[in-house]
Amino acid sequence: MLGASKASPHRLRPRRSLHESQTKQQLKPNKSKCTVTIKIIKLASAILVPLMIGVFTFVTALQESRTSQMQRDADFTRSERAAQLQREAENRQREYQEETAKEMQRQNIYDAFMKDMKSIVLKDNLDLTTAEVLFARAKTVSTLEQIDNKRKWYLIKFLYDNQLLNYKKETTNKYIDLMGADLSNVQFGSKIKYVRRIDLTSIRLLQLELKNTSFENVILNRASFTSSNLNNSNFIDVSMIGTDFSDTTLENSQFSLSHFQNISFKGATLKRSLLSPVLTVGQLFLDKIDYTNSDLSESKFQNIKITLTVKFDGANLGQIQFFDTEFPKGILFKNFNMQMSKFVSIRLDNGAFISCNMTGTVFEKPSFQSITFEEVDLRNSQFNNITDSTGIIHLNKVNLIGSNLNVSRKQVFRISDSLLPNGTFETSFDRFQVNMIQNGNAEQGLCYYSLSQNRTGEQLSGWLVTGNVMQTYYNTSEQQMSISNYQSDWQSCFFFGGYANTNETKSAGHRIQQEINVEQLTVLINLRQIGYNVSAYMGGFDDDDSSTSMKIIFKSGIKVINQLTLSPVTNVQRQNKTSMIFRYHDNIIPSGTVSISIELLFSRINNRRGYRYGLADNIRFIIYQK
């Protein structure tokens, strides 16, 4: 057939699509990655399995080693513990044997003492020779050094019962002096309450070491502990009448007593001690107790009744505590250190504290009709539970700065010349910036024209005169007494010192003296808050070898606190003219001053002869508050 194409002997393959070609190309790399991963896993498995087996084997071996070590340690511990227990048992056995040996030794020493003392104790006391007493002392002191505390008590009781440790004034009995022996930690008496106390009346334990001792259920009437060391000792249920503790040390000691009368603690140290009654007594009565010059600081008196026969003269009462204590009516505490002391639930009728340091003192629920504080430092003190019905408190020359007193309650407080809690000074003193010298300008009383008469013995207004001092008019014609530097404020007269119509030498000179009382300002003076200035015109006549001076003396009673002298005026300072020169001084009044003495002295230089000694005028002493 024309135009017909011939059929191909082979079937033509269909042409692949572009998508199928790309898919196959992508599958080839993925297949390659899976193969690599499988190989890595197989390799890791081949490595890890032996490694894990090795680790397991190592751990197992280590555990077995530790178990074996623990077993060995346990075996060693049991062995060591057994050895330790064995050693402890051996030590206890050795200690027991040593203690038994020591006990036997102490007993042998004690028995030997008893044997050696037999001949002495069987002999009448008054027949003992000095040699026997000295032997007994040496034997006793030596034995006390070698025996225990229990046997020491037995030994002391043995000697006491045989009248070798007690002293009786009415007899001349012989006794052993144990001075220097150590009886520390010994228990005298017994904790067992006997029907009758153990009697140690008049026992002598002088100058001994008695630290940490205990005296319980005993009678110590007229006993003597002079100059012994009794620190940390206890006196429990003890009777003390006429006991002597002079110059002893009793720090941290406790007294729980039934009777406490006529006791001497002169010069004793009782710091932090406690005094109270036994429970059966209720209130301990203190009668004729002498604490003169003792140290009672930080000590405590509890449930005590004190009588006027108790002496605290010169004692240190700093931080002392009185609880439930009844003081005698009208008791006086004067010149005591009572800093930080406490008075709790006390009875104090008409009591007085004079010139005491009571800073930080506490009064808690006191009971009194009236109480007086004079010249007392009460800074930072506390008055708690003070009611209008408590009583009247008189405060004179007292420092109350920092105190909690409500001084506005006039029905309770009577205050004068005192520093109030807020620092205000309440006083009736009204002479600040006023001349305190009476008749300092020589204008009061008689004034003379003539010096021709002896005025010795004649007194001047306001002044105490020694020798011949008179008031004389200025610018008289007699004796050429014209003053070259006369001042208009000198008024009419001046003071002249000297004898008339005599050339007799008077080495003592002539003087006038005057006292100024500043007691009202005590509180401010002691705080150095009062200043003064003193001045005078002083001089003499022509070229007379005379000297006029003024001395200012600050005193407390008869005690001189301080003194100074204004520079004397001589004929040299006056340039040999009849004149007066002004002298002046300003300072603070010294603490403790109660009065000030002003002395004006007219004298001759080197005791030279002459009757004109000097002159003075306008003497002034001014007080001011700083």
Question: Which tens digits make up the pLDDT trace of 462-473?
Answer: 999 988 888 888
Q: What is the pLDDT of residue 20?
A: 52
Q: Which residue has the higher pLDDT, 58 or 595?
A: 595
Q: For residue 237, which of 261, 217, 214 has the smallest C-alpha distance?
A: 217
Average pLDDT over residues 439-466: 82
Q: Do domains 320-427 and 464-625 have the same CATH topology?
A: no
Q: Are 505 and 609 in contact (CB under 8 A)?
A: yes
The DSSP line for 448-481 is BS---S--TT--BTTBEEESSEEEEESS-TGGG-
Mean pLDDT to the nearest integer, 558-578? 90
- 477: which residues sit within 8 A by CB, 6+ positions away? none
Looking at the DSSP bridge assignments, the partners of residue 45 are none
Write down the pLDDT at residue 196. Answer: 77
DSSP 3-state assignment of 6? coil
Q: What is the pLDDT of residue 418?
A: 92
Average pLDDT over residues 461-489: 73
Compute CA distances 258 → 216, 263, 283, whole Å. 12, 14, 9
**Whole-angstrom Cα distance, residue 128 to residue 174?**
7
β-pairing, 493-497 vs 469-473, is antiparallel
Spatial distance between the Cα atoms of 552 and 588, rounded to a whole number of angstroms: 13
pLDDT on residue 402: 93
C-alpha 495/C-alpha 506 separation (Å) is 18
Q: Which has more confidence, 305 or 1?
A: 305
pTM for this entry: 0.70
For position 26, what pLDDT does the model report? 52
Give me the mean pLDDT over the 558-576 stretch: 90
What is the per-residue pLDDT across 300-322, written as a single tens digit (0 to 9) for each?
Answer: 999 999 999 999 999 999 999 99
524 against 452, higher pLDDT:
524
pLDDT at 135 over 70: yes
Q: Across all residues in the chain, what is the average pLDDT?
A: 85
Q: Phi, psi (5° rounding) for residue 301?
A: -110, 125
Return the higher-pLDDT residue of 152 and 489: 152
The domain 320-427: what is its CATH number? Answer: 2.160.20
Q: Which of 3-7, 121-125, 287-291, 618-622 has the lowest mean pLDDT?
A: 3-7
Integer angstrom CA distances of residue 219 from 132, 166, 344: 29, 13, 31
pLDDT > 70 fraction of the chain, expressed in percent and rounded: 86
pLDDT category of residue 7 using cuts at 50, 70 and 90: very low
Tokens describing residue 30: 């993925």
The pair of structure tokens assigned to 121 is 């104790």
Q: What's the pLDDT score for residue 25?
A: 52
pLDDT given at position 502: 47
E strands, 161-318, where? Answer: 187-189, 198-199, 214-216, 218-219, 234-241, 254-264, 274-277, 284-290, 300-302, 304-306
What is the mean predicted confidence (pLDDT) over 271-296?
Answer: 90
pLDDT band, very low/low/confident/very high, at 457 (cuts 50, 70, 90): low
**What is the spatial distance between Cα 621 and Cα 461, in angstroms, rounded to a whole number?**
17
Q: What is the pLDDT of residue 412?
A: 75
CATH class of 464-625: mainly beta
**Is 80 exceeded by the pLDDT of residue 512?**
yes
- Structural domain spans, the chain: 105-165, 179-316, 320-427, 464-625
The model's confidence at residue 3, banded by pLDDT at 50, 70 and 90, is very low
What's the confidence (pLDDT) of residue 18?
47
Select the highest-mean-pLDDT range: 254-263, 384-393, 486-495: 254-263
pLDDT of residue 623: 96
What mean pLDDT comes out for the span 149-155? 94
Q: Name the residue with higher pLDDT: 282 or 380.
A: 380
Element (H, E) at 89: helix 18-121
4 falls in which pLDDT band (50, 70, 90)?
very low
Tokens of 476: 């008289």
In order, the DSSP letters of 194-214 are -SS-EE-TTBB--S-B-TT-E
> How much is the average pLDDT of 174-192?
89
Specify whether the CB–CB gap between 344 and 304 falls below 8 A: no
Q: Is the pLDDT of residue 481 over 60?
A: no
Tell whether the torsion through CA atoms of 267, 273, 279 and 283 is positive or negative: positive
CA distance 300 to 255: 10
Percent of the chain with pLDDT over 90: 51
The sign of the dihedral angle between the CA atoms of 277, 278, 281, 282 is positive
How would you list the strands of the sheet with 595-604, edge to edge?
Answer: 464-466, 510-517, 595-604, 546-556, 559-570
Tens digit of each residue's pLDDT (9 = 90 or more) over 369-425: 889 999 999 999 999 888 766 788 999 999 999 999 887 777 678 899 999 998 889
Quick one: residue 355, left, alpha or beta (phi over 0 = left, psi -120 to 50 = alpha)? left
- The per-residue pLDDT for range 82-129, each reduced to its tens digit, is 888 888 888 888 888 888 888 899 999 999 999 999 988 888 888 888
Say if strands 579-588 and 530-540 run parallel, antiparallel, or are unpaired: antiparallel
